[in-house]
Amino acid sequence: MPRPPGYPAPVPPPFAAVYFDCDSTLSAIEGVDELLAFAPPTLRAEVADLTNQAMEGTRPLAEVYETRLRLLAPRRPQLDRIGELYTARLVPDAEALVAALQALGKQVGIVSGGLLVPVQHVARHLGIPAANVHAVPLLFDDHGRYVDFDRSSPLWRNGGKIEVLGRLPAAQRPVAFVGDGVTDLETQGTADLFVGFGGVVTRPAVRDRAAAFVATPSLAPVLRHVTTPAERAALAGQARFARLLSAAEA
């Protein structure tokens, strides 16, 4: 794919680290949408529309984020349920891809505008270190009722993922980032390579402007963009990655 105008040239692999968005990238669901199951029916269409506007980039994320959580007011146990749904609906080959990258000695992490507790479920399931997990904490009272979100986190507003990636330690550079939405696309230029993922939802702005784009339902083809031929050859020596390598070339 030709480099989109106005963006720095992407850095080729190898990468010291590969980070992923969570919703519609590692997992096939949008966590906030799943919270709608706990909401009154009258709120569901309104909140779903807000989420779509944020992901398409037609409305500022900060405005959408604050409004959605105020309307939904999630309780603490609901977050664990969303975490269970995240892991049950992992995108095909997500586990194998993470394992392969770690086998190559790369740091793997998550940078998500989602809620921290559910995202931590995904990280634990995939064996991603807690220190490499960045999402938005919620604040609850002593009875588990929603009070607010952590407004010190940059991830509830546009540009937040740029800030998080920009603060990664030198040992995790160069870094590739994989995501589906406009807030992920914003990292292009801060991440040394941005890979757009359209396997769950194809967002035209991401498809058209990402330096690299994967449209298959599987995350396996991401491997081609974030590893060198020599690294893939090293993986080929391990039988557990045979299917991943085959799917990456499909």
| Residues with active-site annotation | 21, 23
Question: What residues does 18 pair with on adjacent strands?
Answer: 108, 176
For residues 240 and 114, give the distance between their C-alpha atoms in angstroms, rounded to a whole number: 31
CA distances from 219 to 45, 58, 86, 129, 198 (A): 29, 27, 15, 20, 10
Q: 3-state DSSP call for residue 40?
A: coil
Q: Summarize the chain as % helix, strand, coil (round to 5).
A: 50, 15, 35
Beta partners for residue 17, in sequence order? 107, 175
- Measure the CA–CA gap between 59 and 65, rounded to whole angstroms: 10
Asked whether 194 and 177 are in contact (CB, 8 A), the reply is yes
